[in-house]
Amino acid sequence: MSEGSVEIKDLVKTYTDDRGRPTFTAVKNISLHIEDGEFMVLVGPSGCGKSTTLRMVAGLEKITSGTISIGERVVNELEPKDRGIAMVFQNYALYPHMTIFNNMAFGLQLAKKKKDFISDTVGRTSKALGLDHMLERKPHALSGGQRQRVALGRAIVRSPKVFLFDEPLSNLDAKMRVQMRSEISKLHAQLGNTMIYVTHDQVEAMTMGDRICVMRDGLIMQVADPLNLYRQPDNLFVAGFIGSPPMNLLKGKVQRRDGSLFFTEATEKNPLNIPLKGKLEPLASKYIDKDIIFGIRPEHLSDEVKDPAHVPVTSTVEIAEPMGSESLVYLKAGTANLIARIHGEHLFHLGEQVTVQFNLDKVSLFDAATENVIR
């Protein structure tokens, strides 16, 4: 069964002014396949084209070129209602003058469904969402979380093949956001529908997505499942965007000294030197005397030696943020600033000298010119 799969091919969106002159290209040729029943998250900084892409799937924006198919059927020219989609907006977009019941029933009423069927469907959905006691209220009498739940319910009653979410949680407070996040995840598990979810929040992306599509400037940077995205970023942008605190990225060159390869930080005095051993050696050997970027996640800096893949680097503590289970330690090594996520047993002090161990197995090297990972 593939009726909920979404195929985006060579999609381009160029906005035009009134006279049809192009003003801005929001989406620059992207292709993406979304499996039936998959939870795909589109993530990226604002202006990266993720919402525009979603709106084109929804049929709210005209497609400049390329095709979008939902379940084998090209939907480029179809009206939103005929695409088998439902959408949840960031600002809820409820109908303020209608009751909650009518808000949820509006689509079914327009589709001329039978009255019994409508009240039955809306009743069942509202019960599942815990809204059944407020069906006669109007949206302004509801809290933010309840409103977004109504919007969710309005999407569910249409029984779409594909759910589209446009930053649905960013207007909620932190606590509500976490709760709704798990509710949407549960909903996905229950219904098993395809869901496309746009967010700028990488935590939402990581926690909810089956796969994540990272976008920047109208282009797809990488599509992968959350762990692969985190562990094996394709490029510098993904490496920096995913993960909090972000990956440590050091600019420098590969140098050969006494037969071994070193990463040498790009600075005049007191550069940081890190030996490139093990799996890094064959990668680095192609980049001798060339600019690269050395990337390592904060949790791969530790204060104890675990195995031979660890190399020691002397550094000074600049700030320490003990959080109980772990400490975020801001270090200076050479001229480089590093963030380490170290287990919480040791309390670090300002100015303290620490020897941190770099886990070379977990290092990513990037070509400084192309910003792509070196494989």
Residues that bind another protein (CB under 8 A): 18-20, 58-60, 79-81, 85-87, 89-97, 106-107, 110-111, 138-142, 144, 147, 154, 158, 171
- Min dist. Cβ of residue 83 to another protein (A): 9
CB atoms < 10 A from the CB of 28, how many? Answer: 14
DSSP per position, 199-226: ES-HHHHHHH-SEEEEEETTEEEEEE-H
- Min dist. Cβ of residue 108 to another protein (A): 9
| Cα distance between residue 181 and residue 168, in whole Å | 9
| Cα distance between residue 57 and residue 162, in whole Å | 10
Question: C-alpha angle 254/255/261, rounded to 5°?
Answer: 90
Nearer residue to another protein within complex by CB, 58 or 320? 58
| Cα distance between residue 175 and residue 180, in whole Å | 9
Looking only at the bridges linking them, the beta strands covering 248-257 and 219-224 are unpaired
- Min dist. Cβ of residue 193 to another protein (A): 15
- Min dist. Cβ of residue 139 to another protein (A): 3
Tokens describing residue 143 = 């809290």
Tokens describing residue 291 = 């600019």
Nearer residue to another protein within complex by CB, 42 or 342? 42
- Min dist. Cβ of residue 67 to another protein (A): 20
Nearer residue to another protein within complex by CB, 43 or 157? 157
Nearer residue to another protein within complex by CB, 109 or 314? 109
- Min dist. Cβ of residue 110 to another protein (A): 4
Nearer residue to another protein within complex by CB, 82 or 304? 82
- Min dist. Cβ of residue 199 to another protein (A): 16
Nearer residue to another protein within complex by CB, 79 or 268? 79
| Closest of 163, 145, 143 to residue 154, by C-alpha | 163
Nearer residue to another protein within complex by CB, 54 or 236? 54
CB atoms < 10 A from the CB of 116, how many? Answer: 8
Q: Are 364 and 300 in contact (CB under 8 A)?
A: no
| Cα distance between residue 341 and residue 328, in whole Å | 5
Establish whether the linkage from the previous residue to 139 is cis, with ω within 30° of 0.
no
- Min dist. Cβ of residue 2 to another protein (A): 22
If 0-12 CB within 10 Å is exposed, 13-18 middle and 19+ buried, where does residue 182 land?
A: exposed
Nearer residue to another protein within complex by CB, 31 or 117? 117
